[in-house]
Amino acid sequence: MNTPTLAIGTAVVALAAGISSAGAQDLQAGSTTASPSARPTPVVVIVRVPKPWYAPRAVVIGKMRDTIPEYAKLPGLMFKAFSFERDSNDFGGLYYWRDRASAEAWFNAAWFERVRKERGVEAQVRMFDALVSVDNTAGGMLADSERRAVGTLVEIPMPVGVTRERLATEFNAAVPTYRRVPGLLRKHFTVSSNGSFGGVYLWKDEASARAWFSEAWHSRVVKTYGQVAKIEWFDTPILLPSQDAANLSAARALLEVAP
């Protein structure tokens, strides 16, 4: 059977020629090194827990700060952005783990039961394989203390016939483009078990993210893939790189850090 002709291949050529193809970039960009199959693949985990209606954000952020010493040296956790999902105001985090085993060891049955007992609600935990990751600011951290960073999750249905290996290759092809995106601190290029691909982005501020995810960007996604991109928005008031030596070493091996 013939392999289908895919838009991602055309987009790689366009990028090589210096032509921007923002819709296709979600299948193309990332660091210059994909996560090799010989080693475990890092995962990004997005956690959402319904926030009590009566609890002001400031109070929740204070509770988040109280947990920093625990998360700063959690085995396998290389980075966490504490978060509030924009539409629902659910609190939680965007986690970057060394591998799925580390993430699953933390988000175990006891963890879910503890959330039920302490919060009286069910937590939502979603895991995404991060085939390629790029860091435009070392550690994904802001130089100021205004904490205006935002996170975005992009999901696009996977084109028929595309393999993980091809995705990793395409992700790497457009790293120069994502290096030049104003305000982009970090992006993890992801695939999920629900048949979607995309990325988890961390931005300097909302204005930078809005400038990238313009109406033209959405139109190009539809034109390129025949699908509408789904975007979730997160306020990220606290950014926490790991303070554990082993985690930092793993992060340096997996992230392409900007010079």
Alpha helix positions (H), the chain: 7-16, 22-25, 57-66, 68-72, 100-106, 109-119, 164-172, 175-179, 206-212, 215-225, 245-254
The whole-angstrom separation of Cα 133 and Cα 150 is 17
> Cβ neighbours of residue 83 under 8 Å, at least 6 residues apart?
91, 92, 93, 94, 151, 234, 235, 236
What's the confidence (pLDDT) of residue 10? 27
What DSSP state is assigned to residue 182?
A: T
- For the chain, the average pLDDT equals 82
Q: What is the mean pLDDT of residues 122-140?
A: 88
pLDDT number for residue 11: 33
The share of the chain scoring above pLDDT 90, in percent, equals 58
pTM of the model: 0.83
CA atoms within 13 A on the CB side of 133: 32
SS3 assignment, position 156: strand
Greater confidence (6 vs 177) lies with 177
Please give the share of the chain, as a percent, with pLDDT higher than 70: 80
pLDDT at 34: 45
CA dihedral 149, 33, 155, 76 (to 10 degrees): -60
Query: Cβ distance 236 to 149 under 8 Å?
Result: yes
Residue 239 phi/psi, 5-degree rounding, is: -110, 125
Q: What domains lie within the chain, and their CATH numbers?
A: 7-257 (3.30.70.100)
- Checking if the pLDDT of 30 tops 60, the result is no
Q: How far is CA 210 from CA 26, 54, 117, 214, in A?
A: 16, 30, 38, 6
d(CA 69, CA 127): 24
One-character DSSP codes across 91-147? EEEEEEESSHHHHHHHSSHHHHHHHHHHHSSPPEEEEEEEEEEEESSGGG--SSSS-
Rounded distance between C-alpha atoms, residue 197 and residue 127, angstroms? 12
Residue 100: is its pLDDT beyond 80? yes
Q: What is the pLDDT of residue 92?
A: 97
Residue with the larger pLDDT of the pair 178 and 183: 183
At position 11, the amino acid (one-letter code) is A
3-state secondary structure of 175: helix
- pLDDT at residue 255, as a whole number: 73
Provide the pLDDT for residue 139. Answer: 63
At residue 176, does pLDDT exceed 60?
Answer: yes
Handedness of CA 4, 160, 129, 188 (dihedral sign): positive
